[in-house]
Amino acid sequence: MNDHPPSPQTRRRDTDVGSPSASIHVEDEQHASAVAFRVDAARWTSLTAAVLDSCLPGTRVEVSILFVGETRMAELNRQHLGGDGPTDVLAFPIDDEPDPLMTTDVPRLLGDVVVCPAVAARNAPEHAGDYDDEIALLLVHGLLHLQGMDHGDEPERARMQDRERDLLLTHHGAPARNPWS
């Protein structure tokens, strides 16, 4: 999907850093939610930078990570996927492939990963085990979608899960539970 989520009028920028090759924008937009969950922007920026450096070494990229409440996630799910209700993560790729005519001074715009901490917290006990492991898994999953990976059929799903597992073990640690079982 190449639809970019509409930007709300008010955003709180938590961090706008990255690595030498990745510009990462992390925003917590849960302020409009009835219940907001803890978001460690520095931690998730660090994980995102490590994953991008592993997956796209030497490639200058830009990505946004947005943490939203259930109402906003349900709106995005309905608008862009025709889904009903909030989901845990959505990915909105921008540049599918780097433009060969583009200079190396211009970063590849990967897109946005949108995470709903409320859904992650609800799913965590039966999925990755705890909230932090679930958020880490969702970020890795979304970042892989931005790079063109999918899970539409069994071979694609197996490849994506193997890559998720490798990236999580390398850059986050083993989740409390096996989310791929």
- Give me the DSSP letters along 36-80: -----HHHHHHHHHHHHHHHSTT--EEEEEEEE-HHHHHHHHHHH
CATH numbers and ranges of domains, the chain: 13-171 (3.40.390.30)
User: Does pLDDT of 7 surpass 50?
Assistant: no
pTM of the model: 0.85
Q: What is the pLDDT of residue 4?
A: 41
pLDDT 10s digits, 11-66: 333 444 445 578 999 999 997 666 779 999 999 999 999 999 999 998 889 999 99
Tokens 């989520």 locate to: 5
Q: What is the pLDDT of residue 31?
A: 78
